[in-house]
Chain A
């Protein structure tokens, strides 16, 4: 079984949605997935923040158009994509401990149910080294 390692630095709605679509593709393929959530990404995983993420990293001046298109196309929310992927395949989500602290998350219970554990940067690099695919978003 192939392994995907994702470094998720971004915490904006557009990039989280892209990450979710990629994860669901990996789930369809039964891949093992490890997501390492870094700096800006960690804000989205703080408990209660999942529906508060509404900024775009790209083309933010077209936000209304982007959001209405997502709705019209019945695209799942980023959170739903992550949930679905976890239901379908072995997806582990780790928060970088520094990133968590920056947004007020110190312990596992400070984060939403998607999160499996808190980790250090060494584990991310080891995972990337061992993975068949490594991507940084």
Chain B
């Protein structure tokens, strides 16, 4: 997905994990994905560099679709579609 397409997504769940270091964002993502339905879109906000690689790999392994990452100033937004 392009950056514009990611920005335009309707998000069903947004998780703000910018206050925590690894493994905080991953744990927040794991908890939150249990609360949404298959096909829903979730965004995770993280300021932890490790999360950029960690969450896409985790998502693919768990059968969710990694849609892409948008870099903001000082943090980034990771988009997933629940499988």
State the A residues within 8 Å of B (CB). 21, 24-25, 27-30, 73-75, 84, 88
Contacts and interface: CB of A to CB of B under 8 A. Distances in A.
B7 to A, nearest CB: 27
Interface residues of B, number: 14
A24 B61 contact: no
A24 B29 CA distance: 12
Given A28-B58, A29-B58, A75 B21 contact: yes
A74 B21 contact: yes
A28 B19 CA distance: 19
Interface of B is mostly: helix
B70 interface: no
Given A28-B58, A29-B61, A84 B27 contact: yes
Contacts of A27: 27, 30
B39 interface: no
Nearest to B34: A88
Given A28-B58, A29-B58, A29-B61, A74 B27 contact: no
Contacts of B20: 73-74
